[in-house]
Amino acid sequence: MLAGVRRAARELAPPVPGMLVLDVGCGTGAFLASYAAAGCRVAGLDTSADMLAAARRRLGPGAVLIRGEAAALPFASASAGAVTATMLLHSLSPSGCIAALVEMARVAGPSGCVVVADHRPGRRHGAGGWAAGGLARGVEALAGHGPGVRSLLSAGGITALAATAGLRVDAVRPAAGGALEVVRLRQAAEVA
Alpha helices in the chain (DSSP H): 2-12, 30-37, 49-59, 94-108, 126-142, 146-154, 157-164
pLDDT bucket at 143, cuts 50 / 70 / 90: very low
Class of CATH domain 2-186 = alpha beta
Whole-model pTM: value is 0.85
pLDDT tens-digit map of 17-30: 999 999 999 999 99
pLDDT over threshold 60, residue 127: no
CA 7 to chain CA centroid, Å, is 13
Confirm if 106 and 79 have CB atoms less than 8 A apart.
no
pLDDT bucket at 191, cuts 50 / 70 / 90: very low
* Mean pLDDT computed over every residue of the chain: 86
pLDDT over threshold 50, residue 85: yes
Confirm if 185 and 116 have CB atoms less than 8 A apart.
yes
Residues 6 or more apart whose CB falls under 8 angstroms from that of 123 comprise none
Confirm if 181 and 172 have CB atoms less than 8 A apart.
yes
CA 110 to chain CA centroid, Å, is 18
- State mean pLDDT over 61-66: 97
Q: Residue by residue, what is the 3-state secondary structure of 103-150? A: HHHHHHCCCCEEEEEEECCCCCCHHHHHHHHHHHHHHHHHCCCHHHHH
d(CA 13, CA 51): 23
Closest by CA to 116, choosing from 131, 137, 130, 102, is 102
pLDDT over threshold 70, residue 134: no
